């Protein structure tokens, strides 16, 4: 299968918008203006037939994993402990904030700041512990979403239904050749990194080992206590991480307010922002994709930005893209 260059697309967006989505944009690029070129407002799009979205059948691995995680989350309610709850809260921050919103999203996808390679790989491990896929899969999918946002080809647009954008979009089975083409086109920088290629092959191992470690530690503390730590530290925590991320794909393209006129349906939604460490200020992000700070008004609290700012003060994060636009909508 031939793979197109990431800079070749039949989408009508300008080259600068595509570069912004693929991490190699000039920091001075105005993605908001670039994103406006040639697109018409969304007006009651008609979804394709549901069955046509599964040309290769169902991804039974993903389906089974999600079934186990959600079942385990429900079961955790019968194994409640304050220690389990504390572990759930700490690991939620480590995986959802440090791993997904800071690592996968703002660092790897958009290049909103730079860190030394060992730190980048640390954040990648945190992201893999979220069990939301490998770094390269997450990045490639999200860059494609930005370029085709709410257009045909967007991996998870609510134009195809709320539940499709929230959870069903990753249920179709994808052929290996299709997946490699996705990586090579939308994440060529990471596709060339041997460590990220290894991570793509072994990422489920990290979560499995975490679950085993928590169970063994709990049993060493008290017989039967391992179930509390494992179910709260893995299943409940993962499910909370999943839905806080998925609401960014679904809810923030349906409800909320807009600071910027963009050509997609992105919105700012306060309760998603609280649940996802600042990712819910989604209209701000779609208007200015490379900014490390997603909250553009004083009340738009962005916990992930606070962490990035701390890393900047400590000298760990450099080249931080933090220029808030002077004018909003």
Residue range 283-314, pLDDT digits in tens: 999 999 999 999 999 999 999 999 999 999 99
**Helix residue ranges, H only, the chain:** 15-21, 31-35, 60-75, 82-92, 117-128, 135-147, 162-166, 176-186, 188-191, 194-221, 226-230, 237-249, 270-275, 282-287, 303-313
Give the span between the Cα atoms of 295 and 305, in whole angstroms: 8
Q: Do the beta carbons of residue 302 and residue 273 sit within 8 Å?
A: yes
Question: Three-state SS for 326?
Answer: coil
Q: Do the beta carbons of residue 205 and residue 289 sit within 8 Å?
A: no
Query: Is the C-alpha dihedral spanning 61, 66, 69, 71 positive or negative?
Result: negative
pLDDT band at 52 (very low <50, low <70, confident <90, very high): confident
Question: Three-state SS for 240?
Answer: helix
pLDDT at 23 over 90: no
| Between residues 147 and 14, the one the model is more confident about | 147
Specify the pLDDT at position 265: 94
| Mean pLDDT of the chain, nearest integer | 86
pLDDT band at 37 (very low <50, low <70, confident <90, very high): very low
pLDDT at 29 over 60: no
State mean pLDDT over 176-205: 94
Specify the pLDDT at position 324: 86
Question: If you compute the radius of gyration of the chain from its CA atoms, what whole number of angstroms results?
Answer: 20
Residue 266 vs residues 2, 135, 208, 284, 328: alpha-carbon distances, Å: 33, 24, 35, 8, 15
Give the span between the Cα atoms of 197 and 256, in whole angstroms: 37
The phi and psi torsions of 271 (rounded to 5 degrees) equal -75, -30
Specify the pLDDT at position 75: 98
Indicate the Cα dihedral angle 47, 276, 6, 45, nearest 10°. Answer: 20
Specify the pLDDT at position 26: 33
Bridge partners of 172, per DSSP, are: 58
Q: Do the beta carbons of residue 6 and residue 188 sit within 8 Å?
A: yes
Give the span between the Cα atoms of 146 and 32, in whole angstroms: 12
pLDDT at 62 over 50: yes
> To the nearest whole percent, how much of the chain has pLDDT over 90?
76
pLDDT band at 327 (very low <50, low <70, confident <90, very high): low
Please name the residues in contact with 163: beta carbons below 8 A apart, sequence gap of 6 or more: 250
State mean pLDDT over 255-265: 94
pLDDT at 325 over 90: no
pLDDT at 231 over 50: yes
Give the span between the Cα atoms of 308 and 12, in whole angstroms: 33
The predicted model scores a pTM of 0.85
What are the tens digits of pLDDT across the range 129-146? 999 999 999 999 999 999
| Between residues 127 and 6, the one the model is more confident about | 127
State mean pLDDT over 22-37: 37
Q: Do the beta carbons of residue 287 and residue 259 sit within 8 Å?
A: yes
């Amino acid at each position: 299968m031939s793979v197109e260059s990431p800079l070749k697309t039949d989408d009508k967006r300008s080259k600068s918008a595509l570069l912004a989505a693929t991490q190699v944009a000039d920091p001075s690029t105005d993605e908001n203006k670039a994103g406006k070129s040639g697109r018409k407002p969304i007006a009651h799009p008609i979804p394709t037939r549901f069955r046509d979205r599964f040309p290769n059948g169902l991804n039974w691995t993903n389906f089974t994993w999600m079934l186990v995680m959600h079942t385990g989350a429900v079961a955790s309610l019968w194994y409640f402990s304050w220690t389990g709850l504390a572990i759930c809260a700490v690991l939620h921050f480590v995986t959802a904030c440090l791993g997904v919103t800071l690592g996968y999203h703002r660092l790897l996808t958009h290049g909103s700041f730079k860190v030394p390679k060992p730190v980048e790989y640390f954040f990648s491990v945190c992201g893999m512990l979220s069990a939301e896929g490998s770094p390269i899969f997450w990045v490639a999918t999200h860059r494609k979403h930005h370029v085709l946002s709410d257009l045909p080809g967007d991996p998870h647009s609510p134009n195809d239904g709320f539940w499709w954008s929230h959870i069903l979009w990753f249920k179709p089975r994808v052929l290996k050749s299709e997946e490699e083409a996705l990586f090579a086109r939308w994440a060529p920088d990471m596709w060339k990194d041997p460590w990220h290629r290894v991570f793509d092959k072994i990422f489920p191992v990290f979560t499995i080992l975490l679950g085993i470690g928590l169970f063994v530690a709990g049993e060493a503390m008290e017989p039967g206590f391992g179930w509390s730590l494992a179910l709260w530290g893995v299943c409940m925590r993962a499910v909370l991480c999943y839905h806080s991320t998925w609401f960014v794909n679904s809810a923030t393209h349906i409800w909320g307010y807009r600071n910027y006129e963009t050509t997609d349906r992105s919105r700012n939604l306060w309760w998603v922002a609280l649940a996802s460490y600042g990712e819910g200020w989604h209209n701000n992000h779609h208007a200015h994709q490379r900014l490390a700070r997603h909250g553009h008004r004083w009340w738009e609290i962005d916990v992930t930005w606070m962490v990035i700012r701390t890393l900047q003060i400590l000298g760990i994060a450099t080249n931080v893209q933090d220029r808030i636009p002077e004018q909003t909508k």
